Amino acid sequence: MNLMKKLNNRFYSKALSVSFVVVFFTIVIGFASSMASDKPGALLWGENCGRCHNVRPPSSLTDDQWDVAVLHMRTRANLTEEEAKKIVEFLKAGN
């Protein structure tokens, strides 16, 4: 019987630990995504696109070309829909 209590205590302890980790990361991810949504398109463009690409003026592509480019890069750069929309709006404003 004592062995069963120890096993149950270990199980509940591990379950509680896993639950805590899941809740913690859910909060962190939610906070991070809410922080990103507060950033303007110019900042998102500089932080995300500028990591891999040379900075080019927004007027270097047409509005339609920016739509295609950002749609393609959205998945590669792991951008949210809102972030991609802000970046496209910023780029189109330069045309």
Report pLDDT digits (tens) over 5-50. 665 666 666 655 666 666 666 777 766 655 556 899 999 998 999 8
User: Which are the contacts of 52, defined by CB distance < 8 A and separation ≥ 6?
Assistant: none
Sequence letter at residue 71: L
- Where do the domains of the chain lie? 1-38, 40-95
pTM: 0.61
Q: What span, in angstroms and rounded, lies between the C-alpha atoms of 69 and 92?
A: 12
Architecture of domain 40-95: Orthogonal Bundle (1.10)
**Each residue of 47-81: b (16+ CB within 10 Å) or e?**
ebbeeeeeeeeeeebeeeebeebbeebbeebebee
Mean pLDDT of the chain: 81
